[in-house]
């Protein structure tokens, strides 16, 4: 969205939420993130809660984004409750697992992040190879994020980590040749 700053972008997203009911939840999340960046956490929290109440589709899941906001505003217990609610909902979108894992990684809960990345891999992919990873963005995000967290935890590389590394090499070589 174009605008002069986070507040202007938040206002634009709120206008779009009102104008596009089928995408209301997504625009409410975008507005909430804009208000958070503009220093209006009160308004941001209201909009995250409105997006949850709306129940509409949000890339990833609104509860993961809200959890990130709650961590950022010093409310880790509330953030973890949002992630517990998300886990109980058994989301059907691999991006929800990526978002939840990255929120926990940013909050320095590496064990929690590893759990979410691994759950997403088991739920959606199970058995895969290098070519699968290079051809599927969600799989790449899950396996790559999992490898990154495992490295931070100083765990030895396993089969999935090795596949992620090989896929990354192939993708980087493709960029250099392109």
Note whether residue 23 is domain-resident.
yes
Q: What is the pLDDT of residues 12-32, one digit of tens each?
A: 999 999 999 999 999 999 999
Beta-carbon contacts of 23 under 8 Å, excluding residues fewer than 6 positions away, are 16, 17, 56, 57
Q: Is the pLDDT of residue 2 over 60?
A: no
What's the mean pLDDT when you consider all of the chain? 95
Note whether residue 155 is domain-resident.
no
Note whether residue 62 is domain-resident.
yes
Residue with tokens 């070589």: 173
Note whether residue 176 is domain-resident.
no
Note whether residue 113 is domain-resident.
no
Q: Is the pLDDT of residue 33 over 80?
A: yes
Output phi, psi for 14, to 5 deg. Answer: -65, -40
Note whether residue 167 is domain-resident.
no
Residue 175 and residue 178: Cα distance in Å, rounded? 5
Q: Helices 137-152 & 94-106, crossing angle to 10 degrees? A: 30
Give percent of the chain with pLDDT exceeding 90.
Answer: 93
> 167 is written with which tokens?
């896929």
Whether 139 and 128 have beta carbons less than 8 Å apart is answered as yes
Number of domains within the chain: 1
Give percent of the chain with pLDDT exceeding 70.
Answer: 98
> 45 is written with which tokens?
């929290």
Note whether residue 59 is domain-resident.
yes
**CA separation (Å) from 71 to 17, 35, 74, 75, 108?**
25, 16, 5, 5, 10
Q: What is the residue range of 70's domain?
A: 10-91
Q: What is the pLDDT of residues 72-126, one digit of tens each?
A: 999 999 999 999 999 999 999 999 999 999 999 999 999 999 999 999 999 999 8
What does the pLDDT average to over 7-12?
96
């Amino acid at each position: 969205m174009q605008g002069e700053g986070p507040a202007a972008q938040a206002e634009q997203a709120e206008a779009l939420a009102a104008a596009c009911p089928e995408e209301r939840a997504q625009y409410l999340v975008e507005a909430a993130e804009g208000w958070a960046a503009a220093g209006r956490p009160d308004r941001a929290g209201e909009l995250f809660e409105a997006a949850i109440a709306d129940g509409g589709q949000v890339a990833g899941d609104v509860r993961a984004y809200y959890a990130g906001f709650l961590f950022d505003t010093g409310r880790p217990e509330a953030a973890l409750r949002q992630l517990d609610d998300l886990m109980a909902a058994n989301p059907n979108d691999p991006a929800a697992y990526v978002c939840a894992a990255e929120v926990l990684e940013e909050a320095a809960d590496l064990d929690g992040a590893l759990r979410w990345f691994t759950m997403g891999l088991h739920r959606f992919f199970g058995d895969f190879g290098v070519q699968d990873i290079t051809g599927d963005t969600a799989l790449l995000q899950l396996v790559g994020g999992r490898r990154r967290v495992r490295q931070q935890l100083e765990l030895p590389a396993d089969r999935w980590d090795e596949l992620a590394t090989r896929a990354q090499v192939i993708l980087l070589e493709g960029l250099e040749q392109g």
